[in-house]
Structure 1
Amino acid sequence: MGLQAALRLIYPPLCIACDGQVATEFGLCTDCWQTTPFIGGAVCDCCGAPLPGEDDGRAAQCDDCLTLARPWSRGRAALQYRDTARQLVMALKHADRLDLAVPAAQWLMRAASPLIAPDTVIAPVPLHWLRMVRRKYNQSAVLAQALARQAGRPACPDLLIRHRNTRSQEGRDRDGRFRNVEGAFRVRPGRDWVAAGRPVLLVDDVMTSGATLSACTEACLAAGAARVDVVVLCRVAKEA
């Protein structure tokens, strides 16, 4: 304990967003906390987007999920994709900030706990191997494994493969996003038994249209998954 106290004096905990001094490891300072849009209260039961009003315990859906059928059962998101949340996702994705998986897993667990059953398998949205070589790691797999540790559930980081190297979704409209990833995912050969007859929780960093998660869900269901739920660190959504 003495050594830990000495180290804290020399290396005090820093805000994960701005490097300002904070009281605990992996925390946010007051200013960054205020600009981190955590999702709470009433949410869409299908994608986790915030909804107006208070949570009354009844399942409700946002306009997007009312007009677009989702192949998965339920969905949740920890944050809205803006301000400090967007900064943190970009740091995790492109700046090797793997330390951010620690607080992110806690936020994901808070959002995803209603979706996790005793036999749930947690799996990430995969990268194509060419993109994996360039990026060195899959941020969704990092999040999935950290969430699995929080939940005490098994993670299967290689359940799915992206067998077609799809182009970026950036700049595409909703229909274009769905066309871009159609048929791009499948369960890895020899991994069907992991999903067969069990609930699968898919993990990704950001949901925009839901096209990528839809394609991954269809692959899991084709392999015999009992059901598929999804959780993302950030949801692109309008203000409630």
Structure 2
Amino acid sequence: MLRSASLAAVTAPVIDLVFPPRCPLCGDPLARQGGLCVACWGRLAIPGDPACALCQRPLGEEHGDDGHLICAPCLASPPKHEGITAATLYNDASRDLVLAFKHGRRVGLAGLLAQLIVPRLPELDGEWLVVPVPLHRWRLWRRGFNQSALLAARIARVTGQALAVDALVRVKQTPPLGGLNRRARAVALSGAIAASPRWASRLKGTNVLLVDDVMTSGATTDACLRALRKAGAARIRIACFARVLDEALDAADRSGTSLDGTDTGP
């Protein structure tokens, strides 16, 4: 670790000379690599408090903020996970970062996105497996990488938890999910995700941090949750870079965001 840090310190000036640090959103010069300019930081919408401890849905100020508040929908129909951690709410700025990362093939953005996720995670007590939402092998072949796996690898490294990059597999190819409603997404994902047989013994009774880049309707994560529960996972938390949660954007006084048919699914 020290050797890597020393090497990075030595090579940083050379990298900055060849590739001057610039904001990945607007292109303005930066003091160092791997960040955003002040203006673009301000464009990101960060989930606020008070919010539901399970689904991150915003709650009124009258509820206070003790970190354990549960909203009425979650009380009526408890989710099959222990909470969702989103670094940002899905707006124009986070959308541009995701598109550059996933479809623009700017894989170096994985560090920045993970850097925004990790500080918002609750303390991961004990041992956890960090598991990415899987891609079907044909989509992985076409894209060349799984963006969720890149985020999971960074998160595992920073938190010191084990990475299980292939714990889940897509056994059925699904169509692009952009533009589909929640019901259509659920139908498309039915039976599409399963636990890998080679991880069966490790998943049983373990804690899992499920990682995705964008959480839209929750249909993809629900499919992953079903597979992990079937494999015997004990506790599951969800972590993502951006969360589509319009009521939270309204609460944060952020407007003008829409999915406009973009494929935000895996």
TM-score normalised per structure 1: 0.90
Query: What SS does the corresponding residue of 2:121 show, helix, strand or coil?
Result: helix
Aligned to 1:151: 159
C-alpha distance in structure 2 between counterparts of 1:202 and 1:62, whole Å: 22
1:194 positional shift: 1.9
C-alpha distance in structure 1 between counterparts of 2:76 and 2:181, whole Å: 16
C-alpha distance in structure 2 between counterparts of 1:207 and 1:3, whole Å: 36
Query: What SS does the corresponding residue of 1:191 show, helix, strand or coil?
Result: helix
Q: Where do 1:96-175 residues align within 5 Å?
A: 96-114=105-123, 116-175=124-183
Higher mean C-alpha deviation, range 3-12 or range 23-32: 3-12
C-alpha distance in structure 1 between counterparts of 2:237 and 2:12, whole Å: 40
Which one-letter code corresponds to 2:228 in the other structure? C
Q: Deviation digits for residues 126-145 of structure 1, max 9, x if unmatched?
A: 01111111111110111111
C-alpha distance in structure 1 between counterparts of 2:141 and 2:13, whole Å: 40
Q: Is the 8 A contact 1:49 1:76 kept in 2?
A: no
Aligned to 2:68: 59
* Length, aligned pairs only: 239
Change (3 A) 1:136 1:56: same
- Alignment of 1:74 onto 2:69: no
1:4 positional shift: 4.8
1:41 positional shift: 3.0
Change (3 A) 1:161 1:34: same
Q: Where do 1:167-206 residues align within 5 Å?
A: 167-206=175-214
Aligned residues: percent identity? Answer: 36
> Can you give the 5+ residue segments of structure 1 that lack an aligned partner in the other structure?
none
Query: What SS does the corresponding residue of 1:89 show, helix, strand or coil?
Result: helix
Change (3 A) 1:7 1:178: closer
TM-score normalised per structure 2: 0.82
Change (3 A) 1:82 1:237: same
Change (3 A) 1:67 1:31: farther
C-alpha distance in structure 1 between counterparts of 2:11 and 2:219, whole Å: 50
Higher mean C-alpha deviation, range 195-204 or range 12-21: 12-21
1:60 positional shift: 2.9
Q: Deviation digits for residues 92-116 of structure 1, max 9, x if unmatched?
A: 11111111111111111012233x2
Aligned to 2:22: 14
Q: Deviation digits for residues 135-181 of structure 1, max 9, x if unmatched?
A: 11110111111111111111110000010111222222222222221
Which one-letter code corresponds to 1:157 in the other structure? V
Aligned to 1:48: 56
> Can you give the 5+ residue segments of structure 2 that lack an aligned partner in the other structure?
1-8, 252-266
